[in-house]
Amino acid sequence: MKQILLVFIGGGFGSALRYIISKNLNSFYPNFFLGTFLSNILGCLLIGILLGLSAKEKILTQNQTLLLATGFCGGFTTFSTFALEKYNLLKTGELLYFGFYLLSSIITGILAVGIGIYISKHV
Render pLDDT for 102-112 as a digit per residue (tens, 0 to 9).
999 999 999 99
pLDDT at 104: 95
Q: For residues 46 and 69, give the distance between their C-alpha atoms in angstroms, rounded to a whole number.
A: 8
Considering the chain, what is the average pLDDT of its residues? 93
pLDDT at 87: 93
Q: Is residue 49 within 8 Å of residue 114, measured between CB atoms? A: no
**pLDDT per residue as tens digits for the range 87-106:** 999 999 999 999 999 999 99
The answer to whether 77 is annotated as binding is yes
pLDDT at 54: 85
Q: For residues 32 and 51, give the distance between their C-alpha atoms in angstroms, rounded to a whole number.
A: 29
- CA of 85: how far to CAs of 2, 64, 81, 102, 115, in Å? 34, 32, 6, 10, 26
pLDDT at 66: 93
The answer to whether 10 is annotated as binding is no
